[in-house]
Amino acid sequence: MTGPSNGSGTALWRRHPVAAVVLACLGLFLLIQLAPYGRDHTNPPVSAEPAWGSPQTRELASKACFDCHSNLTTWPWYTNVAPVSWLVQHDVDDGRATLNFTEWDRPQSAGLGDIAELVRSGEMPPIYYRMIHRSASLTDTEKQQLIDGLAATFRNSPPIPG
């Protein structure tokens, strides 16, 4: 037997291959929603922030960096839908482990030079994040203000090396 028939002996998936693919994709989409990863939307308590070089530096860092590099992450509805939830959870976990502006009393892996280069080159925040969060797109002037402000912040309140 070759599968469900339409009565004439021809399998339904052979008569409507696009519909079969759509149904298979829908089934797979529903199935991956059962994966437990990507739904741990916790924001641990803020233990310490740096002594910011200026309020403007904190504001720029907040709008461009805090969703992944702090415990003040905003979790929009789509962060509950796999596979997007997997990407977001991975980025937040990795971001917090590398540099966390709200756990300044713990070791930080990222140094100022690396941060400055990533911001200057446009690698941070990532383009896919900036596409969804337009406010995170910094102008060249804002990028330089953030880099200069972080340099002052790191001088005022150096992170614990990690």
Convert the pLDDT of each residue in 8-38 to its tens digit.
556 766 788 888 788 777 877 777 677 767 7
Q: Report the pLDDT value the prediction gives residue 16, as an integer from 0 to 100.
A: 82
What letter represents residue 7's amino acid? Answer: G
- Cα separation, 38 vs 99, in Å, equals 20
What's the pTM value of the predicted model, to 2 decimals?
Answer: 0.80
Helix (H/G/I), strand (E/B), else coil: 159: coil
For the chain, domain boundaries: 1-32, 55-161
Average pLDDT of the residues in 35-49: 86
- Cα separation, 35 vs 98, in Å, equals 25
pLDDT digits (tens, 9 = 90+) for 84-139: 999 999 999 999 999 999 999 999 999 999 999 999 999 999 999 999 999 999 99
